[in-house]
Amino acid sequence: MRKLVVFMHTSLDGFTAGPGGEMDWIHVDDGIFEYARERTEAADTALYGRVTYQMMDGYWPTAGDQPNASKHDIEHSSWYNQVEKVVLSRTMAGQQKSKTTIISDDLATKINALKQQPGKDILVFGSPSAVHALMRENLVDELWLFVNPILLGQGIPMFKDGKDRVKLQLTKSHAFPSGVICLHYEKA
């Protein structure tokens, strides 16, 4: 069975974005990109909320074609263009896009059916509202949290409105020179 893996940057106090959605505090560099490539290579489906999908789709399809494209831009653009995309959105219901499935209702049934299909893992990038909905339905199998060395004090929380207690097991951690720490948890 395919796993649903959340890939998220968070502040030390548990926020995924500032109060207005700001993400200017997130630290990324070549070392983090290289480390993260392990996850993208193990996935053939990307899952997003509408806002994150629109942001990603506005950048990644052509990012690797730009004259100043970095190695990461070229690799991730190629990956993005090859994988299936799943978007959780009520406002995009009925829209048709190449290599993209819109899920606007019956989340648990549709995600569980997707997890039963053959293929690699399903990777959720950012998308805190989508992650909240997935976690409420107990659909998340793994968390890769990139904890940034900052306290935001307020913002969009990583965890919200959980129905049940979920036991996790830390399977791997990695500290980067920048002070960012990746914590890889699986359901216990």
**pLDDT (0 to 100) of residue 17:** 94
From CA 171, how far away is CA 38, in angstroms rounded? 15
From CA 121, how far away is CA 100, in angstroms rounded? 16
Is residue 42's pLDDT more than 90?
A: yes
Is residue 135's pLDDT more than 80?
A: yes
The number of folded domains in the chain is 1
For residue 96, name the pLDDT band (cuts at 50, 70, 90): confident
From CA 185, how far away is CA 188, in angstroms rounded? 9
| Residue 94 CA neighbour count, 13 Å, CB half | 1
Which domain does 34 fall in, by range?
4-187
H, E, C per residue of 34-53: HHHHHHHHCEEEEEEEHHHH
Whole-structure pTM value = 0.92
Task: Give the domain CATH number at 174.
Answer: 3.40.430.10
From CA 40, how far away is CA 57, in angstroms rounded? 17
Is residue 160's pLDDT more than 90?
A: no
Average pLDDT over residues 2-30: 95
